[in-house]
Structure formats: structure tokens, C-alpha cells
Amino acid sequence: MTWPVSLQIDAVDNGARTARALTAYRQFETPCFMPVGTRGTVRAVSMQDLEDIGFQVMLANAYHLALRPGAEVIAAMGGIHSFSGWNGAVLTDSGGYQTRSLAPVVDDNGVNFRSVYDGSMIRLTPESAVAIQELIGADIQMVLDQCPSLPAPIEVVKEAMLRTVEWARRAKKAHKREDQALFGIIQGGIDLPMRLESVQRTVECDFSGYAIGGLSVGEAHSEMLEVLEATVSMLPEGRPRYLMGVGDPVSLLEAISFGVDMFDCVFPTRLGRHGTVLSETGRYQLRRKENALEQGPLDPSCHCSTCMRWSRGYLRHLLMVKEPTAWRLISIHNLTWTNRLIIRAREAIRQGELSTLIKEVKEVWEMRDNGEGNPRNS
């Protein structure tokens, strides 16, 4: 038996909803954004930073943690929470995304990866991915899936979808920890009938929650939205719905309007490390010369610890001399900005005004992107 996540729905606004998700030991509010702590930490920021910002759940990656330091080491140290010093909930990805990003050898029984650390080979199967995540001790673990890039031949997408369904069944059978939730993953590219088939077969396994994978991986934004809305509408209302790997402001709010509860993405931190700042007037590149003498904060509307203390001019200086402190301070701001957007979305749902918030954000992020390109693909 898989421990079910109890989803206590608080308010609804058309398809959107706010809720409290309760796992065996922890709880968190939804909609929620999960910072990506691939190796057991969010790059350049501390667990204390995340707690101060107000995050309640973090994502880690089982593939990377299995390689360094090893799942057995983490288990011996008391599990991922004790090991990392993170007091909130943890969701571990199985390594399924790496079937796209690392181009491993995939067969019906599993995946052969080459270690990104020392080049040695590692074999992941649906069963071993479950066992690794049980040792790591996250509150929620994901089944192993195959995530193809788009566009791709329909035969490739279908093979990945059917393989993911079969792996989900095997993962459910292998899962032993009743105090740890297990989420299934929906694949199928942008083919609606294939997505429907994936939903039907995966829901039959009766998982604690359901993730929508294989989107925002090269397809047009309009195609993603069409498939996402249809997929979410077919998922059980009483289980968490998680859209994997999406984090730009417009897409977050659009997905929330369809009824998605959980998100993860490197968007705010990766941009921050490269000097791109999220703000109420869009995003901008801090390295630009006009910021050299700017005495104001990164965003006048923000009350994060970075904006309350340091100027744009000083933070630009840190970037230009490649001082690592800049990565942390800008990442703190971008994460705070993202978390605040999610909090605003919850408040808007409770007030029945989510559509108004989406319109306001679109006016900034779709019409005035400050020349930085499409934020969805960064």
C-alpha cells in the first residue's frame, strides 16, 4: 500500500484550487513551487535561505544522489531531511528527466547511464529507482519514466509513453514504504489520444498523486497548454497534480488556472546565477551598463533580504568581478519573487480573481520581456 497524500481543498476558482497537502510527516500549501535541489541543495543558496523565503517543499534528484554521496550514505545519516538540514517536505525525481538530458541507453527493462562524475556506468530500473528513493527517504518519490524531447516521431513518443506506463506498474509493485507517497507520471507528448491513454492506464495503478511530464521540452507554448488542460481535466480531483519542469510566470499561472498544484523548475535560480533578475516590470539583465550607478534595489516592490539591503549597482559589481556572493543574493531575490507570485495566485483563487492576476502578469511578461528572449525556454 502506498501512503496517500491527503489533499484538503480550501478554495476553488473555476478549475484552479488552493489546498493543503498532508504527507505522512509533513504538510505544504498548494499551489506550490519547489526549488530544485538536484544534489540535496539548491545551488548557491542555503536551506536557511529557503526557509526564510517561505518554501515548504523542495525537489531533489535520486539519480544524482545515488551517485554522490550514495543512497546508503544518506540513509545512514538519517535520511535526506537529517542529512541536508531541510525541515520541509522533499520530493525526489527518479532520474527520468535524465533519459532526455543525458541521452542514455534505454530498453524495456531500464536505463544505462554513464555517471556525470567519473564516467562509470549505472543501471536504473523501475524497481531500483524505487529502492534508491526509499533509502533517500523523501516524503514523495516519482516513478521512473522516459521523457522524450519534442518534436519527435510519433513512434518514439508512443514507445516512451507505453514504457512509462509499464514502469509505473512495476514501481507500484516494488514500493514498500507506507510512509512515503509514490506519484505516477503521465507521458504522451502533444498527442491528445496518447495522453488520454497514458492517464487512463496510470490512474488504474492508483498512485498517491500524478505528475505531467514531457511538456515544455521543445513544443510550442500553445500546444503545451492545449495538452495540459486536457490532461489535468482527466486526473482525479482528490490527488495532487504536478507539472514537471515548468517555472516561468505566465506558464505557472496558466497551469494553476487548469488545476495544477505543484511545480518545479531551475528557472529562477539559473537565471539568477547568470545575472537575470525577475521583477514586477519584467526581467532584465543586471550586467547592463545602466545599472552600474543604480542605487535602488533589484525590484522596488520586493521585500526580500537582498532588496532590503543591497543596491543594483553593488550587485552588478559582484557579478562583474565573478563574486559567488552575487549568485546567492540574486537567486534569493528571484526565488522570493517566484514564491510571492505563487502566494498571490493562492490569494487570487480565494478571492475568485485569478483571471485578473493572469491578465496583469501576461501584460508584463508577454508584451515587455525587455529583450531577453522567451522566458519559457530559458
Using one digit for the tens of pLDDT, what is the confidence trace for 37-46?
A: 999 999 999 9
Q: Is the pLDDT of residue 370 over 50?
A: no
**Cβ-proximal residues to 171 (8 Å cutoff; 6+ apart), any chain:** 126, 127, 129, 130, 143, 144, 182
Using one digit for the tens of pLDDT, what is the confidence trace for 39-68?
A: 999 999 999 999 999 999 999 999 999 999
Using one digit for the tens of pLDDT, what is the confidence trace for 124-182?
A: 999 999 999 999 999 999 999 999 889 999 999 999 999 999 999 999 999 999 999 99
Nearest to 364 by CA among 346, 337, 327, 343: 337
Torsion of CA 327, 329, 330, 336, to 10 degrees: 130
What is the arithmetic mean of pLDDT over 350-363? 98
Q: Are 183 and 211 in contact (CB under 8 A)?
A: yes
- As annotated, the active-site residues are 93, 264
C-alpha separations of 144 from 134, 183, 243 in Å = 13, 10, 16
H/E element holding 183? strand 181-186
Q: Which domains does the chain have, with CATH numbers?
A: 6-265 (3.20.20.105), 273-367 (no CATH)
Alpha carbons 172 and 210: distance in angstroms, whole number:
13
pLDDT value of position 99: 81
